[in-house]
Amino acid sequence: MENLPERLNDEKLLQGLGEFGIRAATIAYLPVGFGDYHWNVTGADGQRWFATVSDLEHKEHCGDNAASALKGLRRAMGTAACLHEDGLDFVVAPVRTTGGELLVELDERYALSIFPLLAGESGEFGQVLATTERDQVLDMLARLHTRTAPASTPRTVLDPSGRRSLETALDELSGSWDGGPFAEPARELVAEHAELIRTRLADFDRLADNVRQRDAALVVTHGEPHPGNLLRTDDGYLLVDWDTVGLALPERDLSVVSDDPAAFARYAEVTGKDVDAAALALYRLRWSLVDLAEFVVWFRGPHTRTPDSEAAWKGFTETVEQLADPSPRG
């Protein structure tokens, strides 16, 4: 995020770092990613850390309110830690506080987690991987999907998070939206494509019924293994941002890696599991609907014109375009 989190002062952050035994010598805000807030922290002992603050009021995939999101985030971080401790060295897991916790609740809205600051080259969302790189990621996912799920692993909900808010917005297009500068443009965009959005929701339901009838086994999935969450090191890829981890069909991850069924021959050989085309289509559509719902909630709520809201508006329009042209992405 470009902007610092609202109503979170440095004192709270320093206190949170202290619970991890970190006495900060320098703290530098990193305007990277979208959703969480990040800092580069150097301790008085010279150790460097990557600090992440999560906004629990906007963590719908972890819970539908701040209290439930905190519980969901604790389970996700616990799952990542268990996977790393169980030998999955590509899992970049959070470190523990001096009391053994993986999260520190800074206040009723924000929670802090700490990760080692690792050397490597990060990718970008939307980046297309070369075949050899894609196969490395698929090998990594095969290891993850065949691992026994830790007890803490949350079970994902197939229905898109935020669907209820999206459907409410579709029913409230006749009046004005007044959350901020993008509210009315958002209403106009949704109104223009209301029939399309309803059609895609119906498409999702049909695909979901098809996939549910398979009753396939669920596996541990990362949720968002795109290049933006990959860190390339001398020893191979590492996978970051495990707050979306959860039990789901393997296609939840695979749909992010490729749209080409032929690309999964290697994965099928390693895991012994064929990849289902309908499930791939389902999760690609789910991704767009989740994004759409999040943007609608953002622009219906209080907001101002900032670099983050401008980036969200760009993402909003691109998501609507993708729904209008759901052909596979490269």
Domain boundary among the residues 58, 92, 117 is at 117
In a domain, 126, yes or no: no
Structurally, the chain folds into a number of domains equal to 2
Q: Are residues 16 and 107 in the same domain?
A: yes
Range of the domain at 273: 131-324
Mean pLDDT for the chain?
93
In a domain, 122, yes or no: no
Q: Are residues 92 and 209 in the same domain?
A: no
| pLDDT 10s digits, 101-150 | 999 999 999 999 999 999 889 888 888 889 899 999 999 999 999 999 99
What's the Cα-to-Cα distance from 145 to each of 23, 206, 280, 283, rounded to whole Å?
38, 26, 16, 16
CATH number, domain of 105, equals 3.30.200.20
Q: Are residues 26 and 168 in the same domain?
A: no
CB 324 within 8 A of CB 196: yes
Task: Grade residue 330 by pLDDT with cuts at 50, 70 and 90.
Answer: very low
In a domain, 178, yes or no: yes
Mean pLDDT across 169-176: 94
* Cα first-last separation, the chain: 26
Q: Are residues 60 and 147 in the same domain?
A: no
Query: What is the longest distance spanned by two Cα atoms in the chain?
Result: 59
pLDDT of residue 329: 45
| pLDDT 10s digits, 31-89 | 887 779 999 999 999 999 999 999 999 898 899 899 999 999 999 999 999 999 999 99
The C-alpha atoms of residue 78 and residue 243 are separated, in whole angstroms, by 10
Main-chain dihedrals φ then ψ at residue 254, nearest 5 degrees: -65, -35
CATH number, domain of 208, equals 3.90.1200.10
For the chain, the C-alpha Rg in angstroms (whole number) is: 20
